[in-house]
A and B are shown apart, each in its own frame.
Chain A
Amino acid sequence: MKQVFLDIIENIPLTKNVYKMKLFGDTSAITASGQFVNILLDGLYLRRPISVCDVEDKVLTIIYKVVGKGTEQMSKMTEGKLDVLCGLGNGYDLTLSGDAPILLGGGVGVPPLYMLAKKLIAEGKKVSVVLGFNTADEVFYEKEFKELGADVTVTTVDGSYGTKGFVTTVMENTDYSYFYTCGPEPMLKAIYKTSKTSGQMSFEERMGCGFGACMGCSCKTITGNKRICKEGPVLKKEDIIWED
């Protein structure tokens, strides 16, 4: 982990309430796809954890949905520096992917799969990507994943764009060697049941610090208690205990 001050170089809406922000500076602490950064904002006490979408040539791309005060404030920024803790969390383990992994993202769970897809394709893997949204207006990053060379399917719950249904609708009819996913918990549970192979899931939790100090985001797993911010956010399928 590193504390860095990054310059805002771009902040544009992708949909009605999803924004893409590009930040420039020392991004060296980000070592894996699926990691996150924790951003300090004026007037707000706790930092905002946001997943890493991509890192290239000192440019960090994050994609965030406006859900509260912090992300609302972020959406209005056009320039300036942000105080960012970089390189938090474990990230995805690429070594287990097999030859033809499937990547499943739901809503703002889509962004962390981007750098993952890029890395897997660079390793010569045949990558299938399924992007799930509620409706056509919410769809983003289909073109960007296609440009990487992934086999991309978009699903919408209401059928207004792409395949009608959920990401699992596509998963059931696809051959894959392993899966990677990020999205809302009901989607993760459905994938857990549908999946025919092992895989990795990225989880979300309210955090205090984001770097393992406060024990605010603990969860129970088969291999003991883990902190979503430190030993997560990515957990292996066989490690997960669902609590209702």
Chain B
Amino acid sequence: MGRLSVDLCGITLDNPIIPASGTFGYGYEFAELYDINMLGTFSFKGTTKDARFGNPTPRIAECTAGMINAVGLQNPGVEKVISEELPKMRKVFDKKVMANVSGFAVEDYAYTCEKLDACDEIGWFEVNVSCPNVHGGGMSFGTSPEMAAKVTEAVKKVTNKPIFIKLSPNVTDIVSIAKACEDAGADGISLINTLLGMRIDLRTKKPVIANKMGGFSGSAIFPVAVRMVYQVANAVNIPIIGMGGVSTAEDVIEMMLAGATAVQVGAANLVNPFVCRDIINDLPSVMDKYGIEDLKSIIGGVK
């Protein structure tokens, strides 16, 4: 294993860099720009049982050092993801991919994961119990330890692949939710999803986003993410994928010191489509600068 490589539930990643779900599609748009096989892996667009158009537009609002999105899980539904998107993805990506899954009922999550379980190219599941942009599901599963545990158990029953539960920061006590997922059999925890936010247009005196509120992401949320990764890492014994505002190699190292085994990059991909390539290329020299021989050695280095 190289000095950048990490182990994520028994699968070796060449490096810990993973483009986050919803910022990388199914990979092929970015494959036109660079060879995406250089990535650790990527988490594909949030997939649900049925096709979804998502929320009305405008869905995007800019913020200081970040953005709000209210896309609302637009995706073609799990059947079409398997029949159309994954074959296109396979042409440009040879590694195991992370399947991001959302739902509106516990059974939806199980249904979608069971369908995707048959796909060899999927290495891990990332179960999103934290989408702030849909009603009657999504985040409501991630704000209660009991519900998060129920989803975890239901998904564990339909797959033997490792499952990461993706948690919401919009809670009072993220540690209790992470622990409930661990107790229910989760193989890892992904955090943080976006923070619920809102912008108002001074000219129209109306919310910028049609859905009024949306998920705030971008470099502004990085300190919140580091804090929550640190808290959860000190409370559970399963690997953590850290995310939230990561946009440089330095951010990756900070996130790993806080306790992340791998690191996702989200909104930054939308501003600089080459950011993940750049981070991977920058990591060796930044590691040298801070006297880090092997990335694995720094995971959870801050106590």
Contacts and interface: CB of A to CB of B under 8 A. Distances in A.
Interface stretch (B22-30, B168-176, B289-297): B22-30
Most B CB atoms within 10 A — which of A1, A212, A214, A230?
A214
A3 B74 contact: no
B256 to A, nearest CB: 25
B29 A211 contact: yes
B59 A206 contact: yes
A212 B54 contact: no
A44 B219 CA distance: 12
Interface in B258-282: 267, 269-274
Interface string B190-213: 000000000000000000100000
Given A217-B59, A218-B57, A220-B53, A45 B64 contact: yes
A3 B275 CA distance: 12
Contact of A206 (B25, B57, B63, B64): B57
Contacts of A85: 273
Interface string B1-33: 000000000000000000000111100011011
A2 B66 CA distance: 23
A120 B229 CA distance: 57
A44 B208 CA distance: 17
B57 A215 contact: no
Nearest to A70: B62
A29 B33 CA distance: 12
B190 to A, nearest CB: 19
Given A45-B67, A209-B273, A213-B269, A219 B57 contact: yes
Contacts of A211: 29, 273
Contacts of B59: 206, 208, 215-218
Contacts of A47: 271
Mostly, the B contact residues are: loop
Interface string A1-39: 101000000000000000000000000000000000000
B247 to A, nearest CB: 10
B61 A214 contact: no
A46 interface: yes
B298 interface: no
B102 to A, nearest CB: 14
B123 interface: no
Contacts of B267: 45
Contacts of A230: 29
Contact of B60 (A40, A44, A207): A207
Given A1-B33, A46-B270, A208-B270, A216 B60 contact: yes
A206 B271 contact: no
Nearest to A67: B203
Given A45-B218, A208-B69, A213 B58 contact: no
Mostly, the A contact residues are: loop
Contact of A46 (B57, B219, B269, B271): B271
Contacts of A215: 22, 45, 54, 59, 71, 74
A214 B33 CA distance: 16
A69 to B, nearest CB: 9
A46 B271 CA distance: 6
Nearest to A210: B270
Contacts of B67: 45-46, 208
A212 B25 contact: yes
B118 interface: no
A213 to B, nearest CB: 5
A54 B267 CA distance: 31
Given A45-B66, A45-B271, A46-B271, A217 B25 contact: no
A213 B56 CA distance: 17
A40 B274 CA distance: 14
A205 B74 contact: no
Contact of A213 (B25, B64, B65, B274): B25
Given A45-B63, A208-B67, A213-B30, A3 B58 contact: no
A225 interface: yes
A206 B45 CA distance: 20
Given A216-B57, A218-B53, 14 more contacts: A1-B273, A3-B273, A45-B267, A46-B271, A85-B273, A208-B60, A209-B23, A209-B271, A211-B273, A213-B30, A213-B270, A215-B22, A215-B71, A225-B53
Ranked nearest first, the 5 interchain pairs of A and B with the lowest CB-CB distance are A209-B270, A216-B60, A206-B58, A208-B60, A206-B60
Interface of B: 22-25, 29-30, 32-33, 45, 53-54, 56-67, 69, 71, 74, 208, 218-219, 267, 269-274
